């Protein structure tokens, strides 16, 4: 107790987890004294995290992380047979990033795709979420506390990026797409999952109004696909199931 930020909270001789050590060369601004007191590398420290709506504020709490876990369990059971496979998203031995990783469910799946010779990093702003994520992480899977709007990795540093059920929570969602494209290597692949609605030409505005009370945006049926092309992705493949849409694309 009382250990200042910027130092390890580990016994003498213990090391930063292997995945986080492997991540250090990929960081744009490598911290001079990285610490992993709770098992993840905190790159935000005491900086305030923007939480402009109810959904974002809930995400930062323990209650929110617990709610997410229950919701994910239901979603996985209902959607397991229709969601696209991650198997070919990243190569064995490659590097993958999970943006808005929450408690690390998708991050762990990516870890199995790249195998123990690869590296997978999960990024989230929520300490409660990250504390859940690190409890069952494999040795080659690490977690960073960072902002999806300003990803901490250098340009062209990863082979694949996932971003599931995140864009709808962010006031400037397509800025996240810019960051995803920036960190992808040439021909790297991204997979995004978003909630959508089908209300015709005014769908974007209607979706915004429906989501406004809680701060959750509902995207138009073609809105994210068009944005992917506009923000530097190509070969966009769309899979829809009810109000959920997955998009897989490649960096130009």
Give the tens place of pLDDT for each residue, 199-239: 544 444 544 444 444 457 889 989 999 999 999 999 999 99
Distance CA 209, CA 207 (A): 5
Q: How many CB atoms lie within 10 A of CB 51?
A: 17
pTM of this structure: 0.81
- Find the helix packing angle between 223-230 and 173-183, rounded to 10°: 40
Residue 199's pLDDT is 54
Q: How many distinct helices (H) and strands (E) make up the chain?
A: 8, 9
Does 189 or 105 have the greater pLDDT score? 189
What one-character-per-residue DSSP string does 185-245 give? EEEEEEEEEEEEE--GGGHHHHHHHHHTTTT---EETTHHHHHHHHTTEEEEEEEEETTEE
Does 119 or 210 have the greater pLDDT score? 119
* Section 71-87 average pLDDT: 60
Residue 154's pLDDT is 98
């Amino acid at each position: 107790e009382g250990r200042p930020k910027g130092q390890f909270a580990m016994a003498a001789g213990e090391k930063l987890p292997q995945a986080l050590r492997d991540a250090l060369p990929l960081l744009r601004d490598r911290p001079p004294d990285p610490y992993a007191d709770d098992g993840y590398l905190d790159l935000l420290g005491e900086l305030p995290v923007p939480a402009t709506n109810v959904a974002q504020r809930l995400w930062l709490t323990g209650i929110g992380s617990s709610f997410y876990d229950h919701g994910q369990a239901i979603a996985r059971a209902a959607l397991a047979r229709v969601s696209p496979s991650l198997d070919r998203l990243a190569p064995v031995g490659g590097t993958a990033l999970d943006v808005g990783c929450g408690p690390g469910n998708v991050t762990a799946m990516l870890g199995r795709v790249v195998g123990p010779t690869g590296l997978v990093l999960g990024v989230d702003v929520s300490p409660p979420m990250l504390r859940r994520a690190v409890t069952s992480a494999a040795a080659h899977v690490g977690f960073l506390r960072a902002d999806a709007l300003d990803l901490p990795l250098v340009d062209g540093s990863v082979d694949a990026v996932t971003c599931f059920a995140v864009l709808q929570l962010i006031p400037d969602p397509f800025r996240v797409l810019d960051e995803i494209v920036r960190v992808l290597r040439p021909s790297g692949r991204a997979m995004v999952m978003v909630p959508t609605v089908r209300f015709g030409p005014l769908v974007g505005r209607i979706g915004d109004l429906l989501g406004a009370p809680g701060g959750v945006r509902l995207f138009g049926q073609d809105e994210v696909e068009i944005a992917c092309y506009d923000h530097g992705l190509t070969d966009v493949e769309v899979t829809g199931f009810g109000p959920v849409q997955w998009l897989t694309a490649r960096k130009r």
